[in-house]
Every structure is written in C-alpha cells, then in structure tokens.
Structure 1
Amino acid sequence: MVKYIASQIGRFALLLLAVAVVTFALVSLSPVDPLQANVGQAALLGMSEEKRAALAAWWGADTPMHERFIAWAGGLLQGDMGTSLRYNAPVADVIASRAANSLVLMAAAWVVSGMLGFALGVAAALNEGRLIDRFVKGYCFVLAASPTFWVGLLLLMVFSVWLGWFPLGFSVPVGVAAADVTFADALHHMALPAITLSVVGVANVALHTRAKALDVLAIDYVRFARARGEGRGQAMVRHGLRNLALPALTLQCAQIAEIFGGSVLVEEVFSYPGLGQAAVTAGLGGDVALLAGIALVSAALVFAGNLAANLIYGLVDPRMRPVRKLARATAAVGVPSAGATFGPSASPEASAVETTPPIPPASDERTPR
C-alpha cells in the first residue's frame, strides 16, 4: 500500500508539472498582447513610452517565459499562486470565490448524467430492437454529435426566452444582495446549465452501458438463469448489474474532464460565474497566473476522479484492490511478499527444495492379457 500511495503521489506531481509547463508555453506563444487586451487600443496609444514600459514590466510582457515560470513555481512551492492581473486579486482568492459555483454545477451534472445514462443503457439493452431501444439510440446519437454550446443556446432560447421557466443567466438574481439570495434562487439559476451538461453527458454513458449489457445478457450463466425461468430483467438485476458497474464507473470517472471542458462553454453561454468563465477571461487577457492556477485545479479534479475510480473498483470487486494487484504482480515474478515464510528452516534455500512426492519407479511386470 505504501508503494501504491507513493506512486500515485509521484504521478500527481509529474502531472501538475506538465500542466504548468504546457500552460506557460501556450500563453507565451499566444498572439494575445496583455497590454492591448486589458488596457485597450485607444488608451495604449495615448500613453507615453515610459508608462508603456512600466506596464509591460508589471504584466511581465517582456520577461522570458522560463524566468516567469521559475518565479511562479517558486511562489507556488511557498503556497502563493500569484496575483491575477485581470481581476487585481490573488489567484487563490479568485479560484476560491468561483470554485463553489463550478463544483456544484459539475457535481450535479456528473451525478445526473451517470445515473440517467446507466438507466437508459440498461433499459435499451433489455428492450433490444423495440421502440425504447430505438429512441435511446437516436437520442444518444443526436446529442453525441451536438456541440455543448449549441445545446445550451437551444435550451436557453426555449426554456428561458420563450417559456420563461428559467432565468437568462447568472448564478443569482440581478439586483439582489448576496445576503438576501436564498438556496432556491441559486438552484433556480443553476438548473438550466446543469441540465445542459447532463443531457450532453448522457450519450456516451448510455451507449457504452447498452453495449456492455448486451454482452452480459449473452453470457452462459445469464442464459442458464433465463432457462431456469427468470425473466430478462430479473436476470439482469441479479446477475448482470455487478458486471456492468466496473465499466460504467470507468467511463463515468473519465467523464470528469469532459464535464469540466463542457462547463467552460456552458458558463459562457449562461454567463455563469465559475472557473470556466474565469479561464476564458484569463486566456483572452493573457493572465498566465490565473490560467495556470485554474489548469492545476482542473488537473487535480481529473486525477482525483481517476484515483476514486481505482479505489471504488476495490469495493465492487476485491480482486481489483491495489494491494491484491501488487501481491499478484509480486508473486508472478517470484518475489516473496512481506511477512512470507520459507518453510520450517525459514531460509530461501529450504524453499527451493522440491516438495513434490517422488514418482514411484515403473514396474517391470507386464500386465497379463
């Protein structure tokens, strides 16, 4: 277990390092001029050369990328994520103020898409070739090919503009003080963005679950259960759902990255103040400190999702536990596990002695005919 934890920590550190380097490199190669993007073309032309140089030094526009990265990484190791030049506030404060909205939005979409996709996939498999199966497949194929922002615009136009069931955007009512915002208000503003992320994320889970469910229904022990008189649904519930749990968990935990990427577009469409909207603002303004901080947070979320999947595997199937897998790998190469003994003499030499009983010599007597 100690080796497993150490390997996961090492992988996590390498992942954060790679994300930080790639983020700084992309921002440095971007054609966005931080001065022009944040000050404005007209204001920049009216400035003196001395003021332009001072602003360039403040924004780090003339500093080489590796020097900025080293300075930022040194501050990060001390707990300082830098200062957001776009919001004129510490990066940690900007992320903390917007993380709650994004995490609640993504968590709701993740849970709803996973449960609904799993249920639709199982229902389609149990009714293969029928109307329900054709409806689920058509629904999934259409949504799998639909961009997230287009679905968001469509839902916004129908349910907010035409029907007026949901607000046009933002996370709280306009003109209401933060102290007067109720939980119902926040839930009402979050509902349509969460629905957008959920209906788009259902497609992959439902199609994958349907394919796996059809494979499970064709297994011999399920067919034997059907031969004993169990119905198709009863056989799936008693013998098939456990086999569908592992692949469904794998796909659902892998969808965390897709949901975070979709939340960036959804938050822009609905003007929802979250990490996605802050990332777009930082990218358009060349705010590398804020963009790198958000990239690290998103990488941590994706890594946590994959790690959670590995740990949940052990609860569903004990054979998938990390300690057991490590013990099997150790035994496969012939290395004794910790605490193992080598027989009565407790020595490796004694364990190498052949313990198979000797084969008796062949008799010379012929079998009588």
Structure 2
Amino acid sequence: MARFCLTNLAKFALLLLAVSLVTFALVSLSPVDPVQANLGQAAYAGLSDAKRAQLEAYWGTSVPFPERYANWLAAAVQGDLGVSLRYNAPVAQVIATRAANSLALMACAWVASGVLGFAFGITAGICRGRLVDRIVKGYCYLLASTPVFWLGLVLLIVFSVELGWFPLGFSVPVGTASADVTFADALHHLALPAITLSITGVANIALHTREKTIDVLESDYIRFAKARGDSTASIVWHHGLRNLALPALTLQFASISELFGGSVLVEEVFSYPGLGQAAVTAGLGGDAALLAGIAVASAALVFGGNLIANVLYGVVDPRMRKGALQDA
C-alpha cells in the first residue's frame, strides 16, 4: 500500500509539472500581448516606449520563457503561484474565490449525470429492443451531438427569458451584498447552469451502462438465476449491480475532465463567476500565472478523481482489493 501511494504521488507531481510547463509554453507562443490586452488598444497606443518597456518589465513579459517558467516554478514549490495580471490579486486567492462556485456547479452536475446515466442505462439494457430502450438511445444520441453552449443558450432563452423561472446569470442576485445572499438565492442561480451541464453528461454513462447490462444479462450465472425463476429486476439488483457499477465508476470519475471543459462554456453562457470564466479571461489577457494555476488545479481534480475510482474498485469488488494487496 505504501508503494501504491508513493507511485501515485510521483505520477501526480510529474503530471502537475507537465501541465504547468505546457501551459506556460502555449501562452508564450500565443500572439496575445498581455500588456496590450490588459491596458486596451487606445491606452496602449498612447504609451511611450519607455513606459511600455517599464510595464513589460513589471509584468515579466520581456523575460525569456525558460527564465520566467523557472521563476514561477521555484515560487510555486513554496506555495506562491504568482499574481494575476487581469485580477491584480494573488493567483491562489483568485482560484480559491472562484473554485467554490465551480466545484458546486460541477458537483451537482456530476452527481445528477451519474445517477441518471446509470439508471437510464440499466433500464434501457433490461428493456432491450422495446420502446423505453429506443427512447433512451435516441435521447443519448441527440445529447451526445449537442454542443453544451448551444443547449445552455436554448435553456436560458426558454426558462429565463420566456418563462422567467430562473435568473439570467451570475451566482447571486445583482446588487445584493454578499452578507445578504441566502442559500436559496445561490441555489436558484446555480440550478440552470447545473442542469445544462448534467444533461449533456448523461449520454456517455447511459449508453455504456446499457451495453454492460446487456452483457451481464446474457452471462451464464444470470441465465441460471432466470432458470430458478428469479425476476429480471431481482437478478440485476442482487447479482448484476457490482459488475455494472465498476465500469460506471470508471466513466463517472473520468468524466470530471469533461465536466470541467463543459463548465468553461456553461459559465460563459450564464456569466457564472467560476474557474472556467476566469480561465477564459486569463487566456484572452495572456495571464500565464493564472492560466497555469487553473490548469494545475484542474489537473489535480482529474487525477484525484481517477485515484478515488481506483480505491472504490476495491470497495465494490473485494477480489480487486485482494489482488492489489498481494501485488503490494
């Protein structure tokens, strides 16, 4: 077990190092000039050469890429992720402020899409070839080909503009002090973005669970249970859930990266102040420190999800736990 933990920690450190390096490299290759993007075209055009050079030196844009990345990495190891150019605040503070909204959004969508996808997949597999199966497959195929930002715009027009059931955007009511925001207000603003993100996440899990359910129902031990007179629902509940849960867990935790990518678009559509919106702002402004911080945080989230999936394998299937202990 100690070897398992150390191996995963080493992989985790190498992953974060690679993600930060690639992020800095891409920002350096980007045609976006951070000074011009943060000052604006008019203000930048009116700057003198001396002032322009002073701002480039202050923001570190004139420093060569290897030196800039080495300085950032040395500070990051000590817990300092740098200062965001766009928000004029420490990167760690910006991430901490925005992470709460993004994590709430992704957690609601993650749970909803996992539960619904698992239930739809089992139902479709049990009712293979029937009307319910065709409805579920059609629903999943349609969602799998639907861009999340387009779906968000449609839901925003229907439920916010036309029906007025949900607010047009933001995470709290406009003009309300943070101390006066209630949990109901935050939940009301969170609902529609979370619904948008969860709807598109159902398809993959549902279709995969359906195929796995069909395979399980055609196995020998299920046929033996049917020969004894057990109902299909009872067989799936008592004998099939463990075999169905393992691949579903794999997809569910692997979908965290897809959820984060989808949350970037959803947060832009609904003007929801989260990490996704901050990442877009940092990208448009050439804010390398903030982009690297968000990339590292998202990579840690994805790696943590995969690690939890490996641990849960042993909880769901004791055979895998015994095999892991023997290998260790």
Matched residues, percent identical?
A: 69
Residue in structure 2 matched with residue 38 of structure 1 by the alignment: 38
Residue in structure 1 matched with residue 231 of structure 2 by the alignment: 231
Task: For 1:133 and 1:157, locate their aligned partners in 2 and report how far apart those are by CA, in whole Å.
Answer: 30
Task: For 2:284 and 2:45, locate their aligned partners in 1 and report how far apart those are by CA, in whole Å.
Answer: 20
For residues 153-197 of structure 1, give each alpha carbon's deviation from its aligned partner in whole angstroms, at most 9, with x where no partner exists.
Answer: 111111111111100000000111111100000000000000001
Structure 1 residue 50 and structure 2 residue 50: aligned? yes
Residue in structure 1 matched with residue 28 of structure 2 by the alignment: 28
Structure 1 residue 327 and structure 2 residue 326: aligned? yes
Partner SS state of residue 102, structure 1: helix
Residue in structure 2 matched with residue 281 of structure 1 by the alignment: 281
Task: For 1:304 and 1:96, locate their aligned partners in 2 and report how far apart those are by CA, in whole Å.
Answer: 18
Q: Which residue identity does 2:85 align to in structure 1?
A: L
Task: For 2:124 and 2:240, locate their aligned partners in 1 and report how far apart those are by CA, in whole Å.
Answer: 14
Task: For 1:206 and 1:220, locate their aligned partners in 2 and report how far apart those are by CA, in whole Å.
Answer: 24
Residue in structure 1 matched with residue 143 of structure 2 by the alignment: 143
Q: Which residue identity does 1:327 align to in structure 2?
A: Q
Q: Which residue identity does 2:162 align to in structure 1?
A: W
Task: For 2:144 and 2:59, locate their aligned partners in 1 and report how far apart those are by CA, in whole Å.
Answer: 41
Q: 1:327, CA displacement in angstroms?
A: 2.1
Runs of 5+ in structure 1 lacking a partner? 331-369
For residues 57-115 of structure 1, give each alpha carbon's deviation from its aligned partner in whole angstroms, at most 9, with x where no partner exists.
Answer: 11222111111000001111111110001100000110011110000110110000000
Partner SS state of residue 175, structure 1: coil
Matched residue count? 328
Task: For 2:61 and 2:76, locate their aligned partners in 1 and report how far apart those are by CA, in whole Å.
Answer: 20
After the TM superposition, which residues 55-74 of structure 1 pair with which residues of structure 2 at under 5 Å, given as runs? 55-74=55-74
Q: 1:289, CA displacement in angstroms?
A: 0.4
TM-score (norm. length: structure 2) = 0.98
Q: Which residue identity does 2:324 align to in structure 1?
A: K
Task: For 2:241 and 2:9, locate their aligned partners in 1 and report how far apart those are by CA, in whole Å.
Answer: 33
Residue in structure 2 matched with residue 313 of structure 1 by the alignment: 313
Residue in structure 2 matched with residue 99 of structure 1 by the alignment: 99
Residue in structure 1 matched with residue 247 of structure 2 by the alignment: 247
Task: For 1:50 and 1:111, locate their aligned partners in 2 and report how far apart those are by CA, in whole Å.
Answer: 54
For residues 262-295 of structure 1, give each alpha carbon's deviation from its aligned partner in whole angstroms, at most 9, with x where no partner exists.
Answer: 0000000000000000000000000000000000
Q: 1:325, CA displacement in angstroms?
A: 2.6
Q: 1:49, CA displacement in angstroms?
A: 1.1
Partner SS state of residue 294, structure 1: helix
Task: For 2:218 and 2:199, locate their aligned partners in 1 and report how far apart those are by CA, in whole Å.
Answer: 29
Q: Which residue identity does 1:39 align to in structure 2?
A: L
Residue in structure 1 matched with residue 3 of structure 2 by the alignment: 3
Task: For 1:325 and 1:242, locate their aligned partners in 2 and report how far apart those are by CA, in whole Å.
Answer: 18
Partner SS state of residue 280, structure 1: helix
Structure 1 residue 153 and structure 2 residue 170: aligned? no
Residue in structure 2 matched with residue 352 of structure 1 by the alignment: none
Q: Which residue identity does 1:104 align to in structure 2?
A: A
Q: 1:324, CA displacement in angstroms?
A: 3.1
Structure 1 or 2: more helix by fraction: 2
Q: 1:231, CA displacement in angstroms?
A: 1.4
Task: For 1:296 and 1:311, locate their aligned partners in 2 and report how far apart those are by CA, in whole Å.
Answer: 22
Q: Indicate the RMSD between aligned Cα atoms, in angstroms.
A: 1.0
Higher relative contact order (CA 8 A, sep 6+): 2
Task: For 2:22 and 2:325, locate their aligned partners in 1 and report how far apart those are by CA, in whole Å.
Answer: 33
Residue in structure 1 matched with residue 265 of structure 2 by the alignment: 265
For residues 182-241 of structure 1, give each alpha carbon's deviation from its aligned partner in whole angstroms, at most 9, with x where no partner exists.
Answer: 000000000000000100000000000000000000001101111111111111111111
Task: For 2:280 and 2:141, locate their aligned partners in 1 and report how far apart those are by CA, in whole Å.
Answer: 29
Task: For 1:23 and 1:241, locate their aligned partners in 2 and report how far apart those are by CA, in whole Å.
Answer: 41
Q: Which residue identity does 2:315 align to in structure 1?
A: L
Q: Which residue identity does 1:72 align to in structure 2?
A: W
Task: For 1:216 and 1:117, locate their aligned partners in 2 and report how far apart those are by CA, in whole Å.
Answer: 17
Task: For 1:34 and 1:94, locate their aligned partners in 2 and report how far apart those are by CA, in whole Å.
Answer: 18
Runs of 5+ in structure 2 lacking a partner? none
TM-score (norm. length: structure 1) = 0.88
Q: 1:326, CA displacement in angstroms?
A: 5.5
Q: 1:319, CA displacement in angstroms?
A: 2.1
